[in-house]
């Protein structure tokens, strides 16, 4: 169950990074709403990470959390913010995913 919580925490990390990207593109009230979304996602992500690390090894949990956030944020950048999807970006995203799966496989 704590792995599911950790995955959800990682998805909220993607959410807070994406909110920052959208806030940068907007002005006025809309920008403040994106910053509010950032704070909500940040809070939820941290609380869930804290809950997951109560039973999972801290180093593994943190690496998986940041990995999910990194992969998700890069994919959001490609699909939402029209960032380039070059061969090397995709290659290194795949190696990051393989590393995350490997860490989960060797954890208790």
How far apart CA 1 and CA 29 sit, in angstroms, is: 38
- Per-residue pLDDT band for 21 (boundaries 50, 70, 90) equals confident
Whole-number pLDDT of residue 36: 97
- Report residue 108's pLDDT band, with 50, 70 and 90 as the boundaries: low
Q: What is the pLDDT of residue 98?
A: 93
Give the domain range for residue 50: 2-106
> pTM of the predicted model, to two decimals?
0.86
Q: 26 φ, ψ to 5°?
A: -115, 175
Q: What is the pLDDT of residue 100?
A: 84
The pLDDT of residue 69 is: 94
- State the total domains in the chain: 1
């Amino acid at each position: 169950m704590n792995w599911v919580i950790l995955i959800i925490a990682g998805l909220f990390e993607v959410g807070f990074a994406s909110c920052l990207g959208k806030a940068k593109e907007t002005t006025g009230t809309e920008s403040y709403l994106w910053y509010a979304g950032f704070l909500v996602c940040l809070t939820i992500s941290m609380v869930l990470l804290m809950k997951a690390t109560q039973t999972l090894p801290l180093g593994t949990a943190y690496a998986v959390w940041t990995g999910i956030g990194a992969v998700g944020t890069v994919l959001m950048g490609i699909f939402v913010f029209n960032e380039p999807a070059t061969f090397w970006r995709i290659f290194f995203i795949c190696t990051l995913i393989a590393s995350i799966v490997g860490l989960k496989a060797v954890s208790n």
